[in-house]
Amino acid sequence: MWQRTYNGPANQNDRVFSLSPADGNNFYAVGSTVISGNYHYILKLNEFGDTIWTRLFQFAPPFGDFSLSSTEDGNDGVVVTGDSDSSFTLRLDKNGNIVWYKSYNMIAVTGNRVIKKITMGI
């Protein structure tokens, strides 16, 4: 087992709200960091907690950008939801590139949880 502390680029109030599996034994940590306002803070970590990559996104300055929940997308990427002045969903590929971003334009509505639905064929 291991324990790590991660520090965002501005050495401020960094938070992780969700962990989800990635490819192999890796996983994603999603949350927020403060630079000049809040940014989505998404890290891909290996099985030992070493950082593979870090991504920062700010979609709604000066409002808060918080990634609150994540789940794997079935293609080694991650789907994230949270608050970015409105609820949103974001999908990143395994390299941290944005595949798509959708804002739902619903003020005061936050995406608190995203889950992967598995359907079974008959």
Q: What is the mean pLDDT of residues 3-22?
A: 85
What pLDDT, in 10s, does the model give residues 15-62? 888 899 999 999 999 988 888 888 888 999 999 999 999 998 888 776
Domain boundaries, the chain: 15-103
Query: Which has more confidence, 95 or 82?
Result: 95
Burial class (CB in 10 A: 0-12, 13-18, 19+), 28: buried
> What pTM was computed for the model?
0.83
**Predicted local confidence at residue 28, as pLDDT:** 94
For residue 26, what are the contacts with CB-CB under 8 A and spacing of at least 6? 44, 45, 46, 47, 52
pLDDT band per the 50, 70, 90 thresholds, residue 13: confident
Determine contact, residues 50/61, Cβ cutoff 8 Å: no
pLDDT at 122 over 70: no
Q: 15-103: which CATH number, 1.10.287, 1.20.1530, 1.20.81, 2.40.10?
A: 2.40.10
